[in-house]
Structure formats: structure tokens, C-alpha cells
Structure 1
Amino acid sequence: MKKNKQHIEVFLYQNIKSLAKKGDIIKVAPGYARNYLIPQDLAEIVNQNNLKKFINIQNRIKNKEKTFQDYFNNLKLYINQIYILNIKKKAGKNGLIFGRINEKEIVKLIYDLTEYKINKKQITMPEIKYIGAYQVKLNFMNEINAIIQVQIIPY
């Protein structure tokens, strides 16, 4: 005999990879909500008393996402105009640079050129040990990405 599964609606306070993102109202099994989501402060049960509060929170989240989206779209335009970052590094005769180029240095250069702040976690780059040109990918959010050419120049 098959049990009739009842689901309850919960509001998510955090992103949950396999489930949904922060601010979503979703249906889950009551046991999952009571035993995991609610005790971990990941969600709260939706009812008539708090529905309006959750809708207001959803609207704030959407407005914040829109602000971030505008911010990163503008930054992407700047990056596309710059296209190449030149970095001068001391190097040996074999082209091996002294020190290394890391995400933190790229973040600083981008800020110096654009006055836009990004997080070093938004940068995907190869290991840079030699003089030459490298492609660095900037992952701003969802589908807003940019690629910038980093040129290492000896001095």
C-alpha cells in the first residue's frame, strides 16, 4: 500500500545545492523540513502569518541580485574595453619570472583600472611562471563572465 505523501512549503534562508536557492519557497517532505532544514536554520515553514514577510524578503533579494547584475555588467564592459593587463615582472634569462602572479594581484590591477571591486574567488587563471600572454577568466555571477588577457613583460 502506497502512502499519500504530504508536502509542506518552506522558505529557504540559505542556498541548498540539490534543492533551491536562498529566498525560494519550495515544497518538501515534512520530515526533511522538521529534522534537517529547520533545526539547521536553513528554512522556515510558510504559513498565512509569515507569507507576506517572506514575499518582502524575496523582493529584497531580487532587488539586490539586480543591483549586482548591473554592477557586474558595467564591470564586464570596462574589462572588454581594457582587454589586456600588462604586468612587469623581473625575470631570469630562461623567461622564468621571480615571484608569481596570483588572483590577489589581478584583483588589485582591476580595481586600480576600473575602481570596481571583485573577489579573488571570481578569478580562474592558469599558473603563471613565465613571461608571456595568459587568459584569465572572471566569473562575476551566473552567466556574467569576462576574459582578460594578462601580458607578463620582463623588466
Structure 2
Amino acid sequence: MGSWKKKKKVILKEDVSELGKKGELLELKAGFFRNYLFPLGKAQILTPLAFREMRIEEERIEAEKKRVKEEAEQLARIFETVGAFKVKRKGGKGKLIFGTVTAQDLVDIIKAQLQRDVDKRIVSLPEIRETGEYIAELKLHPEVSAKVKINVYAN
């Protein structure tokens, strides 16, 4: 093993806490690589083939992220062109309604009107306890959100 230098360039095969994420290129002490990362299969020495594979994987991941963001933007356009979602609740005195309009109510209405499944955890609503017009925000992607109008009526 005379070819070992003090430092080695390695590629991580998986996330390693305190060190880096999968696919990251690092320069580490040879002993740490040889005695810890390599036996556990967490890293490999940088070779031209491994480097090429790493680049291909990065490009695939970037393309997937771009596709997901484009889908979210398309969904945001659909939500914003729909107009307002109408919610009917049993009315109380004046503008008050019985109960509140929740994120789950909005998710059910979206599913009924647009045939789209939306996770209620991405919906942020103001507290709705009376009739009127409200704006809800749907966080479809870390960089894409859509605002939808909700009209609450008492019957």
C-alpha cells in the first residue's frame, strides 16, 4: 500500500453526518477513508469513471428538481385562474358562521372541483369564523406558491 498519500480525493456514496451529502467530492485524510469510510461503503476513491458517474447523477437530480418545479408552477397557474372557491356554512348571528373553515375543507373543495389531490399541510389559511372573502396560500414547492380566493357564505 505504498501508493497512499496523506490525503485522498473521495466521493461520498451516502450522506455522512458532520462530513457531507451523497455525491459530494471531498479531500480527506487517507487513514479516515481507509479505516472508516471505505469499509462501511460510505465513500469511494475519485476515479475518472466515478467522477463521470457522479456528474451524470447530479444532472439527473437537477433535471428532476426542474421538472417538479415546473409541475408546481403549472398547478399554481391552474389555482390562480380558477377564480374563487365557494364554501357554504350554517349561519349564526350577523356574519358569524358555526364552526370554522379549515385547511381540510379547502382540500376537499379543490378535490371536488378540480380533481386534484392536495396535501392539507401545504395550505395556510387565516382563521375563518365569519362570512366574507378570504385568501389562502398553497405552498406547492419551496419556490412556488399559489394564492386562492375563498368566498364563505351562510345558508
Q: Is the pair's TM-score, using the shorter chain for normalization, greater than 0.5?
A: yes
Cα separation, partners in 2 of 1:134 and 1:50, compared to 1, 3 Å: same
**Corresponding residue for residue 71 of structure 1:** 71
Cα separation, partners in 2 of 1:25 and 1:81, compared to 1, 3 Å: same
Cα separation, partners in 2 of 1:118 and 1:93, compared to 1, 3 Å: same
**Corresponding residue for residue 24 of structure 2:** 25
Structure 1 Cα separation of the partners of residues 14 and 105 of structure 2: 34
**Corresponding residue for residue 135 of structure 1:** 135
Cα separation, partners in 2 of 1:114 and 1:9, compared to 1, 3 Å: farther
Residue segments in structure 1 that go unaligned for 5+ positions in a row: 1-5, 39-43
Provide TM-score, normalisation by structure 2: 0.66
Identity %: 18
Structure 1 Cα separation of the partners of residues 131 and 121 of structure 2: 24
Q: Deviations over 1:47-102 (max 9, x none)?
A: 33754554444333223222222221111111121131111111211332223221
Cα separation, partners in 2 of 1:62 and 1:114, compared to 1, 3 Å: farther
**Corresponding residue for residue 43 of structure 2:** 45
The total of aligned residue pairs comes to 139
Amino acid at match of 1:109: I
**Corresponding residue for residue 104 of structure 1:** 104
Amino acid at match of 2:139: N
Provide TM-score, normalisation by structure 1: 0.66
Larger Rg belongs to: 2
State the SS of the aligned residue for 2:139: strand
